[in-house]
Amino acid sequence: MSTYFYIDAQQRQCGPIPPTQFAAYGITPTTYVWTAGMAQWQLAGTIIELQPYFSKSQLFNAVGIRPSRPDNNLVWAILSTILFCLPLGLVGVYYSMKVDPLYLQGKYEEAQAMAKKSLNWSIAGCITGIVLAVIYAILSIFLMPIIGAYLQNAIMSQYAT
């Protein structure tokens, strides 16, 4: 791994340090860096091999690299709400409605987190709905004959007296 020299806030040349320590030294995508083999100082955010060391928000705000918009999972949340489990599906809808505004505000990590929460709640709603339907079916199959026999005996005993 290469080490990089950088220009600090007081315009002094510092370093060298490895990219893994950039955050500790306050190096951002707009910090000028240099390493052996480079012709001139460059913004850290414009060097492809250094981009993984910065957040997506930092890269966009510094050099205009905008990540792709995460899927808000609204369709899954609505289907979960209508077909499976209303309360959990509505939570999924709530989180999915937050994805696009956060993305447009440049809060990419938060938008990604909301998209993941939306999908998780939608999946939880689907699983809950399926589990409840299976329990209902099992109870219907096994308890209905018992309840029917009990009611028949109760009605017959009422008429017998």
User: Distance from CA of residue 42 to its chain's centroid?
Assistant: 33
pLDDT, residue 113, reads: 94
Is pLDDT of 79 > 70? yes
User: 3-state class of 17 per DSSP?
Assistant: strand
36-51 confidence digits (pLDDT tens): 999 999 999 888 889 8
Residue 64 has pLDDT above 70, yes or no: no
Residue 36, C-beta contacts closer than 8 angstroms, at least 6 positions apart: 2
Report CA 10 to chain centroid distance, whole Å.
Answer: 38
What pLDDT score does 48 carry?
A: 85
Measured between alpha carbons, how far is 126 from 113 in angstroms, rounded to an integer? Answer: 20
Tokens 């939608």 sit on residue = 122
